[in-house]
């Protein structure tokens, strides 16, 4: 840490904040206030950018993998799993053809394993329907498994540097903090025009990286502002949850490759009806399959 650098950075940052507040007092969401806001975010990013493997080397495949991994999973956990996963499955084609057992093994630790299945199905769609090339069109990407409106737009922006408008938790945090922090139940529909008005048309990829990094900083320094959002939901406790039992089932099938349902219940030593319910759910999702009375990863 360089004390002089930190002092200079903080001084400039505070000056930019003051300028923004002055412009905001004249016109809360006017052009000058938005320009001042953009200077704050860009200054922060120029000095405090977070390094991630999926940012340093960008391809459509790496972007898709990282975006699916980052759904509902913190960046520090994804950072540990991303490069080993890419090394094991370096292309859409490699992932499309891989045994699902191997994908789950590499996915372990990220949770929400249905995303691993969705990711393989995305790879299969890309290879079979699009000649191995990810389509740079959000409306098409939305038809892919596990990809909704926001993810389709984030993938388009990060993979192809095309300006789109999307909101995720850190972006939501930034815009609520600067423009609506005195409100409760802020809806994304109120934020979308602000997000659209500030997107860098020449380099939207770096702009969204900057917003996300600033949002992470805000959560560490001022708390979780996104609690003011109408879309905020607190994640349920993991210990004893269905998520935990689902993970235990997959781990047991990784360890044993195949088990009868009775043997699985005995292995987990959890409530039988609950385990059988999770088996039914995982089977319906295509994550596990029953082959002649033996449960295996799909």
Catalytic residues: 67
Locus of tokens 């922090």: 181
Instruction: Please state, as a whole number, how many other Cβ atoms lie within 10 Å of the Cβ of residue 219.
Output: 16
CA dihedral sign of residues 142, 134, 169, 206:
negative
Helix (H), strand (E) at residue 295: strand 294-297
DSSP sequence for 32-57:
HHHHHHHHHHHHHHHHHPPP-HHHHS
Pairing of strands 288-291, 294-297: antiparallel
Cβ within 8 Å of residue 63, ≥6 positions away: 54, 155, 158, 159
Q: How far from 89 is each of 44, 93, 95, 102, 201, CA to CA, in Å? A: 35, 8, 5, 10, 33
For the chain, the residue count is 298
Whether residue 240 contacts residue 103, with contact meaning beta carbons closer than 8 Å, is answered with no
Residues contacting 62, CB < 8 A, separation 6+: 53, 54, 86
Q: At what angle do helices 188-198 and 169-179 cross, to 10 degrees?
A: 90
């Amino acid at each position: 840490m360089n004390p002089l650098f930190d002092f200079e950075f903080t001084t400039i940052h505070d000056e930019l904040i003051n300028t923004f507040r002055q412009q905001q007092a004249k016109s809360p969401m006017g052009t000058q206030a938005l320009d001042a806001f953009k200077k704050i975010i860009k200054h922060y990013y120029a000095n405090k950018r977070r390094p991630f493997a999926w940012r340093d080397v960008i391809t459509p495949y790496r972007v898709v993998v990282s975006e699916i991994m980052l759904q509902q999973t913190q960046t520090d956990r994804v950072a540990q799993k991303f490069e080993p996963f890419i090394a094991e499955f370096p292309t859409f084609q490699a992932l499309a053809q891989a045994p699902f057992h191997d994908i789950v093994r590499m996915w372990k630790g990220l949770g929400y394993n249905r995303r691993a299945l969705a990711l393989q199905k995305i790879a299969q769609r890309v290879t079979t329907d699009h000649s191995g090339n990810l389509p740079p069109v959000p409306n098409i990407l939305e038809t892919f498994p596990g990809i909704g409106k926001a993810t389709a737009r984030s993938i388009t922006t990060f993979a192809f540097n095309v300006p789109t408008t999307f909101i995720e938790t850190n972006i939501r945090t930034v815009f609520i903090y600067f423009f609506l922090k005195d409100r409760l139940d802020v809806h994304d529909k109120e934020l979308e025009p602000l997000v659209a008005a500030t997107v860098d048309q020449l380099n939207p990829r770096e702009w969204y990286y900057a917003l996300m990094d600033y949002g992470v900083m805000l959560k560490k320094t001022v708390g979780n502002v996104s609690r003011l959002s109408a879309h905020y939901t607190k994640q349920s406790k993991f210990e004893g949850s269905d998520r935990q039992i689902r993970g235990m089932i997959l781990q047991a099938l990784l360890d044993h490759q195949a088990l009868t349902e009775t043997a699985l219940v005995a292995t987990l030593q959890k409530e039988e009806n609950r385990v059988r319910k999770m088996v039914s759910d995982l089977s319906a999702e295509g994550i596990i399959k029953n082959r002649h009375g033996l449960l295996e990863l799909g």
